[in-house]
Amino acid sequence: MALDILAMAPLYQAPAITRIGPKTDPSKRPADPLKPLVPSRTKLTTIEAKRIMSILDEAINKVELVTLLSYVASNREDVEGVLGEDIMRAVREHEDLCQVLLENVRCLKEKERQLQEQEEAEEEGWLRDRLLSIELQKSSLSPLTQQIKDSTKNVLRLLLSNPQAARLLQMQTQSRSAEAQNFIDSLIELRGFLFEKLVTSPMEARDKAQFIQDINRQNSNNQQIIDTLENELAERMKKRNAEEELEDLEAVHKEEKIALEELKRRHKVLVEEFVQIREEREINSKKRMEAEQEMVRMVRAATLIQAFWKGYLVRSLLRSKKKRGKGKAKGKEKGKQKGKEKGKGKK
């Protein structure tokens, strides 16, 4: 979608001084003291999250290249030896299509302006012909727009197939227009929000939502109290102005200020308690994980001991069977021996 938008923009853009900023990792940004809930993870762990971030990074890279095509078109002699003949030919074709589109749009606006100026003075037949001409010209913009989109994709394909040329082109960030740079900055900011969303676990998201909900509710209650106090103060000030004296008004103001400070103090205590509870939850979760890991190790050790003991019993049983077999064989041999001796005695 980003490339479709940029493909419709004019090819020539005014140079801007703003340079593109690096893709910032939210984990490296300074911690916000007003945001106690931050993701515990700093890296993407699932393949789906990595694919999503890869697609967004690829889109940002392509947008960076497309927004520099105006520099290539206006500095052909300087970049032709670097980018190569194929890329330059594709850029020239893209430039010609953009120029045709701009000319058609300019003519269309001029016809519409003339129509608005002369529609009351001219004949009905002339107006009908002019409206038909405008509609035909509008219908011709759609295929031309599609050609520009296709040429943009073709230029990108050639640039991405030549990484060295793409890197050299991306170095010309000072030639990008301010509007294009703002668009890229918005994409980079979106990348930061998406990264933070992907590294936040469901439990952290639920805790964060609950924390924000509690804070909003507390802020709403505090605001209601403040509004009530301010209204009461306003009413009392009116009465004091009518009756009563400046010293009394100052005393009332001090009381209301003390009440407001007390509300702020209670709000701060609530935030600190929430942070403490969250830290205790993290500690308990870590201890529970360690206990589960210890249990797994004990189960594995018990399984290993049982396997060893079963093996030992099997081997012991096999040895006992072998000994019994040898004893029976020896008994049979001794019986045969005694039978022979008896036969000889009878003879």
Query: What is the rounded distance in angstroms from the CA atom of residue 73 to the CA atom of residue 70?
Result: 5
pLDDT in tens, 288-339: 898 889 898 999 989 999 989 998 888 888 888 887 776 666 666 666 666 5
Query: In terms of domains, do 98 and 187 share one?
Result: yes
Q: Are residues 84 and 215 in the same domain?
A: no
Of the residues 154, 175, 200, which one is the last residue of a structural domain? 200
Segments forming the whole domain that contains residue 48? 2-200
Which residues in the chain come in under a pLDDT of 50?
A: 1-28, 31, 33-34, 347
Give the Cα separation of 56 and 188 in Å (integer): 9
For 226-269, write each residue's pLDDT tens digit: 898 889 888 887 876 676 667 777 788 888 888 888 888 888 88
Residues 170 and 33 in one domain: yes
Give the per-residue pLDDT at 253: 83
Q: Are residues 167 and 214 in the same domain?
A: no
Q: Quick one: 12 and 155 in the same domain?
A: yes
Provide the angle, in degrees to the nearest 10, between the axes of the packed helices 85-118 and 124-160.
160
CA-wise closest residue to 49 among 189, 196, 206: 196
Given 147, 172, 200, the domain boundary residue is 200
**CA gyration radius, the chain:** 42
Q: Are residues 72 and 51 in the same domain?
A: yes
Q: Measured over all CA atoms, what is the biggest interatomic distance in the chain, rounded to whole angstroms?
A: 159
Residue 188 placed within a domain: yes
Instruction: Give the tokens for residue 190.
Output: 């979106």
Coil, strand or helix at 175: helix
Average model confidence (pLDDT) across the chain: 76
